[in-house]
Amino acid sequence: MSKRSLFRLVWTLLICAACAYFFVPLSKVRLGLDLRGGVHFELEVQGQEALEADLRDTRDRIQERLQEKAITGVTVKSDTSSVRVDGVTPETQAAVTKIISNFGGYTITEQGPARILTQKDFYQKSLKEDANKRAQQIIENRINQFGVAEPEITPSGAEGNRIVVELPGVGEAERERIKGLLSTPGRLEVRLLSKKQPNQIPVKTEAEALAYLGGALPEGTELFPELVEEPTVVTNQMKAAIRAAKPGEKKTDNVRQWVLLETKVYYDGGAITDARRGQDQMGTNTVNFTLNREGADANAKLTEIASNEGRQFAFLLDRKVISVLRSEQKIIGGGVEIKGSFNQQQADDLSLKLKSGSLRASMKFLEEQSMEASLGADSIRHGITAAVVGFGTIILFMLLWYKWSGLNAIVALTVNLIVMLGLLGSFQATITLPGIAGFALTLGMAVDANILIFERIREELDAGKSVSGAIQAGFDKVFWTIVDAHVTQLFAALLLFIFGTGPVKGFAVSLTVGVVASLFTSIYVSRFIYDWVLERHPGTKTLSV
Amino acid sequence: MRIFEKLPHIDFMKWKGVALAISWGIIILCLLLARPFTSHSRVKVGMQFTGGIDMMVRFRIPMEADQIRSALQNGGVNGAVLVRYASPAGTEDYSIKVKAKEGQDSKDSTAQINKILDVLKALDPQSKTDSRHDLNTESALALSGKWYDANLLGVKGDEQSRHAVYDGWAGKVTEARGAKGAITDYSQLPADLPQPLKDMVKKEYRLGNMTLGRFESFSPSISGEWTRKTLAAVFWASVAILLYVMFRFTMSFAVGGIVSLIHDVLMALGLFVLFGYEFSVPVVASFLILMGYSMSDTIVVFDRIRENSHKPEYRRVTITKLVNDSINQTLSRTILTSLSVLFVAFCLLVFGGPALRDLSFPIFIGVITGTYSSIYIAAPVVVYWDQWFGGKDKLKQHA
- pLDDT tens, position by position, B372-384: 999 999 999 888 8
* Mean pLDDT in residue range A453-463: 90
CA-based nearest distance A495→chain B, Å: 6
What confidence tens digit (pLDDT) does each residue in B303-316 have?
A: 999 889 888 888 88
Residues B253 and B157 in one domain: no
Mean pLDDT, chain B, rounded, equals 85
- What is each CA distance from B306 to A456, B249, B252, B354, B382, in whole angstroms? 16, 8, 12, 43, 12
Confidence (pLDDT) at A251:
39
Asked whether the predicted pLDDT for residue B394 surpasses 90, the reply is: no
Are residue B38 and residue B58 in the same domain, yes or no? no
B267 pLDDT more than 90: yes
Domain termination residue (choose one: B179, B196, B212): B212
Q: Does B130 touch chain A (CB under 8 A)?
A: no
CB atoms closer than 10 angstroms to residue A309: 9
Instruction: Give yes or no for residue B390 having a pLDDT over 80.
Output: no
B336 and A401: CB-CB below 8 Å?
Answer: yes
Indicate if the pLDDT at residue A161 is higher than 60: yes
Q: Of B95, B114, B130, at which residue does a domain stop?
A: B130
Q: Are residues B372 and B390 in the same domain?
A: yes
- Return residues 172-231 of B near A (CB < 8 Å): 174-175, 177-182, 211-219, 221-222, 229-230
B142 vs A: CB within 8 A: yes
Check whether residue B79 and residue B224 sit in a common domain: no
Smallest Cβ–Cβ distance between B291 and the set A34, A249, A492 belongs to: A492
**How many Cβ pairs closer than 8 A exist between chain A and B?**
280
Instruction: Mark yes or no for CB contact A451/B337 under 8 Å.
Output: yes
**Chain B residues touching residue A367 (CB < 8 angstroms):** 216-219, 222
Q: Which of B131, B292, B355 sits opposite A492 (nearest CB)?
A: B292
User: B395 pLDDT exceeds 90?
Assistant: no
CB contact under 8 A, B296 and A485: yes
What pLDDT, on the 0 to 100 scale, is given for residue A247?
A: 36
Cβ contact B216–A433 (<8 Å) = no
Query: Is the pLDDT at B388 greater than 90, yes or no?
Result: no
Residues B363, B247 share a domain: yes
pLDDT confidence of residue B396 = 52
Picking from B174, B240, B341, the nearest residue to A491 by CB comes out as B240
User: Any CB–CB contact under 8 A between B289 and chain A?
Assistant: yes
CB nearest to B281's CB, from A239, A364, A500: A500
Sheet containing A38-45, strands listed edge to edge, beginning at the edge strand earlier in sequence: A152-156, A162-168, A38-45, A363-371, B210-218, B52-59, B92-99, B80-85
Pairing between β-strand A272-279 and β-strand A285-291 as defined by DSSP bridges: antiparallel
Please, what is the average pLDDT of chain A?
84
Predicted pLDDT at A344 = 78
Nearest-neighbour CA in chain A from B216: distance (Å): 4
Question: Last residue of some domain: B212, B245, B268?
Answer: B212
Say what the pLDDT of residue A411 is.
92
Cα–Cα dist B237/B259, whole Å: 14
pLDDT of residue A502: 65
Q: Which of B115, B119, B118, B113 is nearest to B100 (CA)?
A: B113
B281 CB neighbours in chain A (<8 A) are 500, 503-504
Gap between the Cα atoms of A409 and A399, Å rounded: 9
**Any chain A CB within 8 A of the CB of B281?**
yes
Residues of B whose CB is below 8 A from A481: 299-300, 303
Q: Is there a single domain that holds both residue B190 and residue B321?
A: no
Average of pLDDT values for B198-204?
87
Residue B4 domain-assigned (yes or no):
no
Strand order in the sheet with A114-119: A75-78, A82-86, A114-119, A106-111
Task: Answer whether residue B342 is part of any domain.
Answer: yes
pLDDT at B399 over 60: no
Residues A506-538: tens digit of each pLDDT: 778 888 888 889 988 988 899 899 888 888 888
pLDDT above 70 (res B350): yes
Minimum Cα–Cα distance from A369: chain B residue: B216
Q: Please check the confidence at residue A231 and state whether its pLDDT lies above 60.
A: no
Average pLDDT of B180-209?
Answer: 84
Compare CB distances from A248 to B115, B222, B300 and report the shortest one's residue: B115
Share of chain A above pLDDT 70, in %: 94
Task: For residue B2, tell me if it sits in a domain.
Answer: no
For residue A233, pLDDT beyond 60: no
User: What pLDDT does residue B346 have?
Assistant: 93
In a domain, B65, yes or no: yes
CB-based contact B300 A487, cutoff 8 Å: no
Q: Is A499 close to B232, i.e. CB distance below 8 A?
A: yes
Q: Three-state DSSP class for A98?
A: helix
CB contact under 8 A, B296 and A377: no
**Is B199 inside a domain boundary?**
yes
- What pLDDT is stored for residue A239 in this prediction? 47
Q: What is the C-alpha separation between A145 and A130, in angstroms, rounded?
A: 22
pLDDT of residue A200 exceeding 90: no
Q: Do B303 and A484 touch (CB under 8 A)?
A: yes
Find all residues with CB under 8 Å of B322, minimum gap 6, and list them.
Answer: B305, B308, B309, B314, B392
Note whether B348 contacts A499, CB cutoff 8 Å.
no
CATH number, domain containing residue B112: 3.30.70.380
Angle (deg, nearest 10), helices B106-123 and B65-74: 130
Given a cut of 70, whether residue A246 has pLDDT beyond it is no
- Please give the residue that has the higher pLDDT: either A395 or B60: A395
- Is B296's CB within 8 Å of A369's CB? no
CB contact under 8 A, A500 and B285: yes
d(CA B304, CA B315): 15
> Which pLDDT band holds residue B268 (cuts at 50, 70, 90)?
very high
Q: What is the DSSP string of A388-436?
A: HHHHHHHHHHHHHHHHHHHHHHHHHHHHHHHHHHHHHHHTTPEE-HHHH
B35 and B137 in a single domain? The answer is: no
Q: Is the pLDDT of residue A253 over 60?
A: no
Range of the domain at B163: 133-212
Whether residues B26 and B120 fall in one domain:
no
Q: Does B365 touch chain A (CB under 8 A)?
A: no
Residue B1 lies in a domain: no
CATH number at residue B22: 1.20.1640.10
Residue B142: its chain A contacts at CB < 8 A?
171, 173-174
Flag whether B83 is in a domain: yes
The CA R_g of chain A, rounded to the nearest whole Å, is: 35
The answer on B372 and B243 residing in a single domain is yes
Task: Tell me whether B246 touches chain A (CB under 8 Å).
Answer: no
Same domain, residue pair B148 and B186: yes
Q: How far apart are CA A477 and CA B42, in angstroms?
A: 47
What's the confidence (pLDDT) of residue A252? 42
Distance from CA of A516 to the nearest CA of B (A): 14
Give A483 to chain B, closest Cα distance, Å: 10
| Residues in chain B within 8 Å Cβ distance of A38 | none
Residue of higher predicted confidence among B351 and A249: B351
Point out the residue among B295, B333, B356 whose CB comes nearest to the CB of A386. Answer: B356
pLDDT at A229: 55
CB A418 within 8 A of CB A514: no
Query: Please, what is the Cα angle at A479 between A473 and A480, to 5 degrees?
Result: 125
CA–CA distances in Å: residue A358 to residues A183, A185, A341, A355, A363: 11, 5, 21, 9, 12
Residue among A499, A510, A515 with most chain B CBs within 10 A, to mutate = A499
Q: At what angle do helices A373-426 and A3-23 cross, to 10 degrees?
A: 140
Considering the entire predicted model, what is its pTM?
0.79
B288 and A CB contact within 8 Å: yes
ipTM over 0.95: no
Task: Identify whether residues B208 and B352 lie together within a single domain.
Answer: no
Mean pLDDT of the region B118-142 = 81
Q: For chain B, how are helix, strand and coil distributed in percent, rounded to 5? A: 65, 10, 25
Confidence of residue A235 (pLDDT cuts 50, 70, 90): very low
The 10 Å Cβ neighbour count of residue A345 is 12
Q: Is B391 found in the same domain as B263?
A: yes
Alpha-carbon gap, residue A516 to A423, rounded angstroms: 10
Does the beta carbon of B31 lie under 8 angstroms from any beta carbon of chain A? Answer: no
Domains, chain A, in order of start with CATH, read 3-36+373-536 (1.20.1640.10), 51-122 (3.30.70), 184-370 (3.30.1360.200)
Å from A291 to nearest chain B CA? 25
Q: Is the pLDDT of residue A368 over 90?
A: no
pLDDT in tens, A295-335: 899 999 888 888 888 888 888 888 888 888 877 788 887 78
Residue-wise pLDDT tens digits, B202-248: 888 888 888 888 888 888 888 888 888 888 888 888 888 888 888 88
Model confidence at B3, pLDDT cuts 50, 70, 90, reads confident
Into how many domains does chain B fold? 3
| DSSP code string of A242-264 | HHHH-TTTTTS--EEEEEEEES-
Residue of B nearest to A503 (CA): B282
- Mean per-residue pLDDT for B188-212? 86
Chain A residues closer than 8 Å to B76 by CB = 247-248
Tell me the chain A residues in contact with residue B325 when contact means C-beta distances shorter than 8 Å. Answer: none
Contact across the interface for A374 and B221, Cβ inside 8 Å: no
Cα distance between residue A225 and residue A534, in whole Å: 87
Residue A77 clears pLDDT 90, i.e. is over it: no
Cβ neighbours of residue A465 under 8 Å, at least 6 residues apart?
A473
Domain assignment of residue B266, yes or no: yes
A491 and B138: CB-CB below 8 Å? Answer: no
Whole-angstrom Cα distance, residue A42 to residue A36?
Answer: 19
